[in-house]
Structure 1
Amino acid sequence: MSMATPTWKPAKLDELGFVGRGKSRHRPRNAAILYGGSYPFFQTGDIKAANFYLTEFTQTYSEEGLAQSKLWKPGTLCITIAANIAESAILGIEGCFPDSVVGFVADPDKADVRFIKYYMEILKLQMQSVSRGTTQDNLSVDKLLSFDFFVPPLPVQRRIAGILSAYDELIENNQRRIRILEDMARSLYREWFVHFRYPGHESVPLVDSSLGQIPQGWEATTFGELYDTSSGGTPSRKRPDYFEGGTISWVKSQELLDGFILATDEYITDLGLKESSAKLFPVNTVLVALYGATIGMLGILACAATTNQACCAVLPKRDPFGREFAFLTLLANRERIIGLRLGAAQQNISQVLLRGFECIKPTDQLVQTFSEKTAPLFERILNLQRQTANLRRTRDLLLPRLLSGQVQLEDVTLP
């Protein structure tokens, strides 16, 4: 099938289906009685975090909450118009959402909701641009309905959506597999080092320590006894030659998302590295965000990289206490560490605080055994993240070409 662009016609969103805002009166305001039930309540952050289908949520409504909202059906396209502007995802399950989200229900005779979702990606930057305000960004429904969606005949919409969604389904599948592997690693850590049910624990008595009872032969220590720490730096922005043409990955704290860091938004030059406080850290270095919106979030370098000063590198002092034990110890104790943060204006985790954090030191042999068991899980996660990045890259290259009618559909192969 080939696409003839003259057959593509402009249409407003409300000409392709029903458009309506979500409801969230919250009266009495934020009353506890409205929450904690069985009805998913999707917020703008949930939509931004979703890949394609929206199934994960951080809040639920009770019957009382539902009574002052509305339950939308699966297949509804959710579009954010405040906070996170022009993010979109398709409901995979029934759910409610607030008035900062617009719902679009496609007319089955006019539009494929998946095609409209992909077209939103083309329009996102324009929508964000017209939404910038002096006090708060906002995309009104009127502004949303002013945009033209150039749509081909329905069979062509379905074919395009089918090609692109094949990539997104593989991405979703990879993400599910990553979550399973992460849960396996976390569960093993908790079993061995929190509940003390490690191999051979039956014959090892518990003894008193400053951290409570721990297995005999283990020690209560500080994180700094096991790991060195180091932060990075930011080359001067006044020197373009520190950044332009750079090939050295430079990690910022907002890029720490509890996974491997495959690539970075910015790169620096050899000169930028040499003439700044930035440092080059090796592959498999664990990073933790010291402050900012992602405080306490972690990352693992998949390639040698530098970081800004908001990232702290964790460098093992002892051989067995490498990537897996460091990452999972920081993850398991994140809330405790954040609870110790300093600073009234900006809540910080300092390197001194991190190194002074009390933790357990199991025997070297047990940590070595643990690393041998969990390292394959980490490697599988890394491989899946790389596959996902390649799928996203290919999809993102295809998307504008498909949605502008530049390619013949029969020439496109599915992943």
Structure 2
Amino acid sequence: MNVSLATSCRWRDATLQDLVFFQRGYDITKAQQHSGNIPVISSSGITSFHNEAKAQGPGVVIGRKGTLGSVHYSAQDYWPHDTTLWSRDLRGNIPRFVYYFLHTIDFKRFDVGNSNPTLNRNHIHALPIKVPPLDVQESIASILCAYDDLIENNRRRMALLEEAARQLYREWFVRLRFPGHEHTRIIDGLPEGWERKSFNEVCQTVGGGTPSTTKSEYWDDGDIIWVTPTDITRNPCLALLDSEKKITEAGLKHSSAKMLPPNTIMMTSRASVGFFGLIDKAACTNQGFISVVPNEPFSQMYLLHNLMHRVDEIRSHAGGATYKEISKSKFKALPVVMPSLSLLRDFGEQTAELLRQIRTLHTMNVRLNQARDILLPRLMSGEIAV
């Protein structure tokens, strides 16, 4: 008998409720919450924090309504929201194993909602499954945790690198403690050599568009990166690697989408206003963007951080009844202080290097996620012996 078969023979027939017994979460509004460090976990993950827990950690939570079937893990005590089902009883199983095992189940096929996806625990508790002994559970959880630990470590490094760039911007251009500031005269409220301009004077602003969705030739087998606001808001850092959807040359030609040079500053301008991303390839966007192409390439990182620092101001200029949007004309009229060329170059070089490191870490995380997701079902089926 081969090793993997011998290992799988140790897995016993069971039902899902033998692995974990779920209970519906507890309703709580934002107004009812008080400042604390207890995570409130909804179907989309941690949405806020409260000062009271309803469940003891470690625990597992799955989306019951809304983001149906999403799986979340909490090492600490938590408040499972009404939109979730939470692990009232893990039946003595390894919590992390249960968390990973649940990723192998397509909960969406048990949707009983009409307009809003809904999951009923009574429809999943009787699911037939195979459960390994605790030593195998521990081994599987340890292998998969190693991937997640690397991913989390990289995520923290990316956050620190982005914060370092933001702090450098504040130090040089907000607090005015830039290199050589001690010997720089202030003239009309600005350091000597700095200028007041508008965005219309320092960059080109480019919009986007969406090809007709009824024309398959605009989408099928497309290889042109076409960025939507969702690509930006779901991205964990400034460095965007790809887009979820692609369009064809015909789609580009027959829409308002325009090709942008690599590392263009993409700023969401509609609904979710003021989110940013840069991709190191030529790309285009839908109409939910104002993309910024600096007239001077070395001012790119400065303009990016200037905009990020002024998000609240940018959003205050957005109008609209159905959804907020900042127009190109209002954006181009916004004032911007431009530092000396030498400072722009120095800042650009330092922060571009930080962005390069962020992109490398983000690429590594994508590959780690892919490797883990390939490994997970093979471990959970007993195909790979541990």
Structure 2 length-normalised TM? 0.89
1:203-226 deviations in whole A, cap 9, x for unaligned? 334455xxxx44343223222222
- Return the offset for 1:389: 0.8
Between the aligned partners of 2:339 and 2:356, the Cα distance in structure 1 is 23
Between the aligned partners of 1:178 and 1:306, the Cα distance in structure 2 is 25
1:96-138 deviations in whole A, cap 9, x for unaligned? 33232332266474x2222221222222xx3234335234222
Does the 8 Å contact 2:207/2:289 carry over to 1?
A: yes
Between the aligned partners of 2:198 and 2:122, the Cα distance in structure 1 is 57
- Return the offset for 1:272: 2.3
- Return the offset for 1:16: 2.4
Does the 8 Å contact 1:35/1:59 carry over to 2?
A: no
Matches within 5 A, 1:281-292: 281-292=260-271
1:130-176 deviations in whole A, cap 9, x for unaligned? 33523422223333434444322222222222222221111111101
Between the aligned partners of 1:43 and 1:296, the Cα distance in structure 2 is 26
Does the 8 Å contact 1:282/1:305 carry over to 2?
A: yes
Distance 1:23 1:104, change over 3 A: same
Between the aligned partners of 2:360 and 2:95, the Cα distance in structure 1 is 31
SS at match of 2:175: coil
- Return the offset for 1:280: 1.9
SS at match of 1:229: strand
Corresponding position of 2:22: 19
Equivalent residue for 2:273, pick from 289, 295, 298:
295
Moved more, 246-255 or 169-178: 246-255
Corresponding position of 1:332: 309
Q: Does 1:41 align with 2:39?
A: yes
1:328-367 deviations in whole A, cap 9, x for unaligned? 1221111210111021112112222222222221112111
Q: Does 1:354 align with 2:341?
A: no
- Return the offset for 1:327: 2.2
Equivalent residue for 1:277, pick from 237, 240, 256:
256
- Return the offset for 1:61: 2.4
SS at match of 2:40: coil
Between the aligned partners of 1:403 and 1:308, the Cα distance in structure 2 is 40
- Return the offset for 1:300: 0.6
Distance 1:185 1:174, change over 3 A: same
Between the aligned partners of 2:315 and 2:130, the Cα distance in structure 1 is 48
- Return the offset for 1:24: 4.4
Between the aligned partners of 2:131 and 2:229, the Cα distance in structure 1 is 40
- Return the offset for 1:267: 1.5
Question: Identity over aligned residues, as a percent?
Answer: 31
Residue type of the alignment partner of 1:403: M
Q: Does 1:89 align with 2:72?
A: yes
Equivalent residue for 2:160, pick from 180, 183, 188:
180
Matches within 5 A, 1:80-229: 80-104=63-87, 107=90, 109=92, 111-123=93-105, 126-131=106-111, 133-208=113-188, 213-229=189-205
Distance 1:2 1:189, change over 3 A: same
Between the aligned partners of 2:240 and 2:39, the Cα distance in structure 1 is 31
Distance 1:7 1:181, change over 3 A: same
Distance 1:305 1:150, change over 3 A: farther
Corresponding position of 1:385: 362
Equivalent residue for 2:56, pick from 41, 62, 72:
72
Distance 1:204 1:23, change over 3 A: same
Does the 8 Å contact 1:106/1:113 carry over to 2?
A: no
Does the 8 Å contact 1:39/1:96 carry over to 2?
A: no
Q: Does 1:253 align with 2:229?
A: yes
Corresponding position of 1:304: 282
1:286-322 deviations in whole A, cap 9, x for unaligned? 1111213x33211111322222121222101123212
Residue type of the alignment partner of 2:247: I
Does the 8 Å contact 2:242/2:279 carry over to 1?
A: no
Alignment: residue pair count = 380
Structure 1 length-normalised TM? 0.83
SS at match of 1:42: strand
Between the aligned partners of 2:13 and 2:285, the Cα distance in structure 1 is 46
Distance 1:43 1:225, change over 3 A: farther
Between the aligned partners of 1:108 and 1:192, the Cα distance in structure 2 is 56
Unaligned ranges ≥5, structure 2: none
Between the aligned partners of 1:381 and 1:25, the Cα distance in structure 2 is 37
Between the aligned partners of 2:335 and 2:245, the Cα distance in structure 1 is 35
Unaligned ranges ≥5, structure 1: 48-56, 411-415
Corresponding position of 1:50: none
Residue type of the alignment partner of 1:59: S
* RMSD, aligned CA: 2.5
Between the aligned partners of 2:127 and 2:241, the Cα distance in structure 1 is 35
Distance 1:179 1:25, change over 3 A: closer
Distance 1:297 1:263, change over 3 A: same
1:39-81 deviations in whole A, cap 9, x for unaligned? 323232761xxxxxxxxx553324xxx2xx52522x2112222
Does the 8 Å contact 1:82/1:137 carry over to 2?
A: yes
Q: Does 1:8 align with 2:11?
A: yes
SS at match of 2:103: helix
Between the aligned partners of 1:25 and 1:277, the Cα distance in structure 2 is 44
